[in-house]
Amino acid sequence: MHLKDSKLALVDVETTGISPEMGDRIFDKARGVSKRAQRPRQASQFINLERSILRDARSVRSIADAEVSHAPRIKAVAQTFGKLYSIA
């Protein structure tokens, strides 16, 4: 199979920082799926951090606690994502 005939999945995550040991978490996941010469299907989803967003992360990413407080937790998002791409 050639790459031009493949289905591509693109994933992007936004985090509060780069150190899970210091409490940094994923708060947004975006994905896109594209087939040859087609516009990608896209989706984005906030993730509940189960904690307050630190001031530095808020200033860089313009995100507020209220925007993620009612979102699903990471475990539920990961399970859904894994099923979608048959990796869980």
Token pair, residue 32, equals: 């896109």
* Separation CA 85–CA 88 (nearest Å): 8
Taken in order of first residue, the domains within the chain and their CATH numbers are: 3-84 (3.30.420.10)
Per-run averaged pLDDT (10 residues), the chain, 88 residues: 73 84 84 74 84 81 86 86 61
Output DSSP code: residue 30: E
* Separation CA 7–CA 20 (nearest Å): 32
pLDDT at site 85: 63
Please enumerate in sequence order all residues whose Cβ is within 8 A of that of 10, keeping only pairs 6 or more positions apart, or say none: 31, 32, 33, 34, 40
* Separation CA 84–CA 88 (nearest Å): 9
